[in-house]
Amino acid sequence: MDLFFFDQEHLTSIATANAAAYRSAQPFPHIVLDDFLPDDVIGRIIEEFPGPRDLEWEKFDAEQEVKLATDDTRAIPAYTRHVLDQFNSETMVDFLEQLTGISGLIPDPHFWGGGLHQIERGGHLKVHSDFNWHEELLLDRRINLILYLNPEWDPAWGGALELWDRDMTACQERVVPVANRCVIFNTTDFSLHGHPDPLQCPPERSRRSMALYYYSNGRPESEISKSRTTDFRPRPGEQWRRTPKTTSRYSDWVPPALLGAARHVRSRFRHGTS
């Protein structure tokens, strides 16, 4: 297996050229980068991507989301697993810090909630903000990175990633999930995104992606909120119920500033830092 490693000089040039645009982007800090991996690398990942019946996917089948996912590295093909590890490398973390201006980023070796995602015809993912706290690592979620793996994707099939304003009044950007397109964005209570309409691709096709999340020990006080799971939001005219959920038994009565301090202390104790 020919190994792939990110080129630091190349990524630094991308970060330098795009940092200002990233941080000022609306409706929240983000960037869309095409041709992110070399052609041969993206081709091998697409070639070995497992089909819906090729492994035991975790299945989500609810009003808000219908999709398949796996973060089980034992089931992910070897080359793809190697590339996932490269997304967790020092070179990639340095790039993300330079691009976003967020220091102290920490990758997730467990790929909790990330890894490989796949949505078949009729599937969808309603507009939402993501879970904000890693219960195992005791860290705040700060950055999402999504790499799409869909060659010759017809926009008429749907599946575009929608970025919504914080008041859920309008979609401000749609990103077609074509192969080798990378989307990076800040993870906060207001980074509302999804592909809410049922997918209309042919039955033999699916919307495929690789997802990675990055964390930090603490976050700006202005971003501190209750620890919670995914918070789905209805679009104008949708009738289903919004379903935010907290994940910390302390979050209902501890003030946000103290909750952030408690997170920081817990993380220091867990990892033995000083």
Q: What is the pLDDT of residues 108-133, one digit of tens each?
A: 999 999 999 999 999 999 999 988 88
What is the pLDDT at residue 222? Answer: 83
As a whole number of angstroms, the distance between CA 163 and CA 192 comes to: 6
pLDDT of 68 higher than 60:
yes
As a whole number of angstroms, the distance between CA 17 and CA 239 comes to: 42
As a whole number, mean pLDDT of residues 35-39 equals: 98
pLDDT of 102 higher than 60:
yes
* pLDDT-based confidence at residue 226 (cuts at 50, 70, 90): confident
* pLDDT-based confidence at residue 164 (cuts at 50, 70, 90): very high
Q: How far is CA 240 from CA 121, 123, 170, 235, in A?
A: 21, 17, 18, 9
The number of residues making up the chain comes to: 274
Chain centroid to Cα 59, Å, comes to: 18
What is the pLDDT at residue 250? Answer: 33
Burial of 1 (0-12, 13-18, 19+ CB in 10 A): exposed
Of the two residues 265 and 74, the one the predictor is more confident about is: 74
- Give me the CATH code for the 8-14+26-271 domain, please: 2.60.120.620
Chain centroid to Cα 96, Å, comes to: 13
As a whole number of angstroms, the distance between CA 45 and CA 159 comes to: 20
Which pair of structure tokens corresponds to residue 82?
Answer: 């190697």
Which pair of structure tokens corresponds to residue 249?
Answer: 């038994």
Burial of 165 (0-12, 13-18, 19+ CB in 10 A): middle
Q: Strand 124-129 and strand 115-120: pairing? A: unpaired
Q: Between 39-48 and 78-87, two packed helices, what is the crossing angle to 10 degrees?
A: 130
Q: How far is CA 79 from CA 1, 45, 85, 207, 252, in A?
A: 7, 7, 10, 20, 44
Angle at 52 between CA 129 and CA 117, to 5 degrees: 25
What is the pLDDT at residue 67? Answer: 96
Q: Of 37-51, 70-84, 215-229, where does mean pLDDT reach its minimum?
A: 215-229
Of the two residues 169 and 274, the one the predictor is more confident about is: 169
Q: What is the mean pLDDT of the chain?
A: 88
pLDDT of 1 higher than 90:
no
What are the extents of the domains in the chain?
8-14+26-271
As a whole number, mean pLDDT of residues 186-192 equals: 94
* pLDDT-based confidence at residue 105 (cuts at 50, 70, 90): very high
pLDDT of 247 higher than 60:
no
For the chain, percent of residues with pLDDT exceeding 90: 77
* pLDDT-based confidence at residue 230 (cuts at 50, 70, 90): confident
